[in-house]
Structure 1
Amino acid sequence: MMTKRSKADFRALRESLGLTQTDLAIELGVQPQTVKKWEAMNHPYSPPESAWIRLDEMEAEQILATEDIVNRIIELVNRFNGDPGLIPIKYYRDQDDYNVHGRDVAPYGLINARIRAAAKELRRRKLNVQLLYPEEYEKLLAEAKGI
């Protein structure tokens, strides 16, 4: 039997996904104040099952996305006979930064959480990973291309 999850469990899961209360509120179609109340100890309302279900789905999506990032990079590493040298990965400062330099429409915190998880796994595999802000990343690529 599964133990009832707490308000702290809810907050920890949300934060592990890189979501702010506002990000989650938008995802769930509720007001940010509602999410804040769900997480507040002094408020009687707990997160509804539908919110837990969506967070659990997002966690599963994050695991798959992280595995995809790692697998794509490992595929590239194998093309370099297992020694790619430095593996640069873009990391975003804020939502505006991601809106300019990112690919998908998503909260930058969600994307950065996936990047952190992938970098952690790649480092566990003894690969040399460096997180770079987009401008640093582009400069490194230009230097590598001799531009």
Structure 2
Amino acid sequence: MDGSLSRMRGKADFRLMRELLGLPQEWIAKRVGVDARTVRNWESPRYFYPPKREAWDLVEGLWRRADAKAAGLVEIASSAARVARERGVEPAPLMLAYWRDAAQWAKAHPEDEDAGMWRIENAAARLAADRLHAMGLPVAIAYAEPEA
């Protein structure tokens, strides 16, 4: 595979990835310089025009970021579970942080100019939780609490 997730993908694929990442159509539109109606049309089977390359690149890049973070969390949990079981105890759940909103994210990450990244962090937590459940490993979710 050449690294492009969008090869031979269609409108429904774009919408699925956008929604799995928790990205509103307006958020995508702002970043690729179109209006939200254009993004809705990209996802609608009633219109011919597919998502533009820049939009695919954005969504795929964010997907890779969320996927890489989720993979790292799964690796940590898998390693910890293996060690715990080698010692004869059941592993403790991996605690995953989940951001409530952009304001909480901005408070914790004042250097980050794009407050929308909280959605990608949440997508990574959802992906990791799903993978850990599928592996039979314990996981717990808690709201992230930025320092006051």
TM-score, with length taken from structure 1:
0.69
Q: Which sections of structure 1, spanning at least 5 residues, go unmatched?
A: 139-147
Match of 2:30 among 21, 26, 30: 26
* Cα deviation, residue 117, structure 1: 0.7
**Equivalent residues of 2:95, 2:140 under 8 A apart:** yes
* 1:3–1:53 distance in 2 versus 1, CA, 3 Å: closer
The corresponding residue for 1:57 is 61
TM-score, normalisation: structure 2: 0.68
Find the counterpart in structure 2 of residue 85 from structure 1.
Answer: 92
Structure 2 unpaired stretches of 5+:
1-5
Matches of 1:44 and 1:127, distance apart in 2? 44
Contact 1:91 1:112 in 2 (8 A): yes
Q: Deviations over 1:8-28 (max 9, x none)?
A: 221112112221112222332
4+ runs of 1 displaced by more than 6 Å?
none
Aligned-residue identity in percent: 31
State how far apart, in whole Å, the 2-side matches of 1:63 and 1:10 are.
16
The residue type paired with residue 96 of structure 2 is I
CA separation in 2, counterparts of 1:86 and 1:78? Answer: 9
What's the offset of the Cα at 1:115? 0.3
Aligned partner (choices 97, 101, 106) of residue 104 of structure 2: 97
> What is the RMSD computed on CA atoms of the aligned residues?
3.2
Name the structure with the higher helix share: 1
> How many residues were matched structurally?
135
- Cα deviation per residue 1:45-100 (whole Å; 9 max; x = unaligned)? 3212332233233323322221122223445x269634442322211222223323
Aligned partner of 1:100: which letter? K
Q: Does 2:129 align with 1:119?
A: yes
Q: Are 1:92 and 1:133, in contact at CA under 8 Å, matched by a contact in 2? A: yes
Distance across 1 between alignment mates of 2:134 and 2:60: 25
Contact 1:90-1:131 at 8 Å conserved across structures: yes
Aligned to 2:70: 66
SS in structure 1 at match of 2:84: coil
Kindly provide the amino acid, as one letter, of the partner of residue 88 in structure 1. Answer: M
> Using the alignment, how far apart are the partners of 1:70 and 1:4 within structure 2?
29
Q: Could you tell which deviates more after superposition, 86-95 or 3-12?
A: 3-12
